[in-house]
Structures are given as structure tokens and as C-alpha cells.
Amino acid sequence: MTTQISSTAATPSSTPLETRFWTWQGHRIAYAVQGSGVPLILIHGFGASIGHWRQNIPVLAAAGYRVFAVDLLGFGKSDKPLVDYHLELWQEMLADFWQTHVQEPAVFIGNSIGALLGLMMLANHPDKARAGVLLNAAGGLNHRPEELNWPLRTVMAGFTKLVSSNLVGPFLFNRIRQKPRLRRTLQQVYRDHTAITDELIDLIYEPACDPGAQKVFATILTAPPGPKPEDLLPHISQPLLVLWGEADPWTPITGATLYRELAAQSEQVQFVPIPNAGHCPHDECPERVNIQIIDWLNSQIQHLSSRP
């Protein structure tokens, strides 16, 4: 079963993307694939989907790579069952997806929590991962209590309790997902507001209208934060490209010191700040990000192709 996704990628060789479906543990998972060559697996962030990579997939495929993108369980066109959502669940899904569809070491490319998932794949499944590309990597699925001051910790605890309420939760979620509110939220995290198109709003709004979306949202907000990047990185030996929008208020570049220090110490790690870009530079300034990724991949290609 396939449905068409339009692409705005500026490349004459781009072809329409197809959403395909795969059954995982009884749930329908949406994915897309395009191109041939060394495989890349693209992992979206919270609230996003395959469509968030619409300006990247055709360009990366045209550059000579086999590009996969997956809607994590609970997001996009994938099913939204009421289960315990956590990073380890999605890591298991990605590992099984790799085993079913890829079956050769891939480059994991992720944004926000997708970047943290990419780190987990590199650290915990090195046989499946040639390299990684992180875009504004999250430090966890949720904030850890010690990361928040006391007033904010109290506010967040109260908010998550309300969102999880059977009585108040649906009302709050319905307010949060309204298009004008989504636009205002994106205006906080996109430096270039012209990149906040109606198409982008629809990409986020439509899955939020699916049955089960509110329960998924509430469950994820109360999920454990998962492993810390500083605990994963010592177990990673693969090449790593870290891209960071300098104007990101959600994962500020001031918190990327760990990656900057790694890049200064190791030729395996490259850190590149993206000026005048927010939390999602791959969508806000895709031309700059695509060039950075392709140039880095091409510089690594012999190494990537020779890894077992």
C-alpha cells in the first residue's frame, strides 16, 4: 500500500516519495525509501514525521545514497497505540526495521530526539551503524528533574498531570494542536519564519487529529528521559557529524559543549554550527544542511564503504 508525498526539493532528478507500510509487533509503521547506494536512515523529532525530511530525501538520494525515513510508532502515519513509549521502544523498532529492510551498515541521521536515537543505535547496535549525523541533538526524551529549577519543575509536573488527565487532557491537547498555536510554537524555534509554510503546519496538524494521538502525547510527556549523550558517546567509534542551528531556543548551542570538545579531540567527530537557524535546520535551511551532509558523506565514503 502506498500514498504519494509531494516534495519541494530543488533537484531536477527528484522523484515523488512514496509512503510504504511495514507491520511491526502488530502495528503499522510508515516509511519511505528512495535512491541507491550506502543506506541512510532518517529519524524525525518529537511531533514530526517523514514529511519533515521532504526537502532532504530527494537531494540525498540524487547524491548517490539509499535514503530511508521512518515514522516512529505514535507519530506521522504510523499507528498510535496506547503503549509505554520510551526511547528503548523506538530503538528496538529501528533495529527491527534495519533487519527487515536495510541489512547493511547504515548512516543514522536524526533531529532532536531522533538524533539521540541515532546515538543509541551507534552505541548499542554498532553492527548496524556505519556513522551518524546529529542535528540539534536532544539530551533526553524529557527533561530530568535535576535539569530544571524548582519553580519550573513544579510547573512542568502540574502540566504533565493535567495533560494526562482523562477529563482535562483531551481539551488541552485540542488547544495545543490548533493550527494557529502550532504556528506560534514553530515561530519560537524557526529563526526564518518564511520556512513555516502551510504545508509544514499540515504535516504536524494532520497526525495530531488521528485517534490515539492525545494519549500518545500524554504518555510521551510522562516517559523517562532515556540515556544521556555523555554516557553513550564513550561507546561510539563511528564517524560523527554534528550540525547545530545557532538560534535554537529548545536545545541551545551553549549546551553542545560536549560535541565541540569531542570534535577538537577526535578526527572522527566534526562539529558545524549553522548560523541563523533554529531547532530544525534541515527544514529551515535545507540547502545549507544538504550540502554539509553530502560533502561530509562523500569525504567519508571510502571509509563507510569498507566498514564491515
Top pLDDT among 114 and 10 is at 114
Distance CA 45, CA 268 (A): 25
- How high is the pLDDT of residue 8? 36
- How high is the pLDDT of residue 18? 87
What does DSSP say about strands 240-245 and 3-5: parallel, antiparallel, or unpaired? unpaired
Q: Among 91-95, 233-237, 297-301, whose mean pLDDT is lowest?
A: 297-301
Q: What is the mean pLDDT of residues 23-50?
A: 96
Kindly tell me if the per-residue pLDDT of 195 is higher than 60: yes
pLDDT digits (tens, 9 = 90+) for 222-256: 888 899 999 999 999 999 999 999 999 989 999 99
The radius of gyration computed from the CA coordinates of the chain, to the nearest angstrom, equals 18
Q: What is the mean pLDDT of residues 35-40?
A: 96
Task: Name the 3-class secondary structure at 210.
Answer: coil
Q: What is the mean pLDDT of residues 131-154?
A: 72
Kindly tell me if the per-residue pLDDT of 78 is higher than 50: yes
Q: Grade residue 6 by pLDDT with cuts at 50, 70 and 90.
A: very low
- How high is the pLDDT of residue 161? 62
- How high is the pLDDT of residue 221? 84
Helices (H), the chain: 57-62, 87-97, 113-124, 150-164, 169-176, 179-189, 198-208, 213-221, 229-232, 257-265, 281-284, 286-306
DSSP state of 78: S
Q: What is the mean pLDDT of residues 80-106?
A: 97
Count Cβ atoms below 10 Å from residue 298 Cβ, excluding itself.
Answer: 13
Q: Grade residue 151 by pLDDT with cuts at 50, 70 and 90.
A: low
Kindly tell me if the per-residue pLDDT of 190 is higher than 70: yes
Q: Grade residue 175 by pLDDT with cuts at 50, 70 and 90.
A: confident
Kindly tell me if the per-residue pLDDT of 4 is higher than 70: no
Give percent of the chain with pLDDT exceeding 90. 73
Top pLDDT among 65 and 9 is at 65
- How high is the pLDDT of residue 5? 36
Kindly tell me if the per-residue pLDDT of 59 is higher than 50: yes
The reported pTM is 0.89
- How high is the pLDDT of residue 289? 98
Kindly tell me if the per-residue pLDDT of 95 is higher than 90: yes
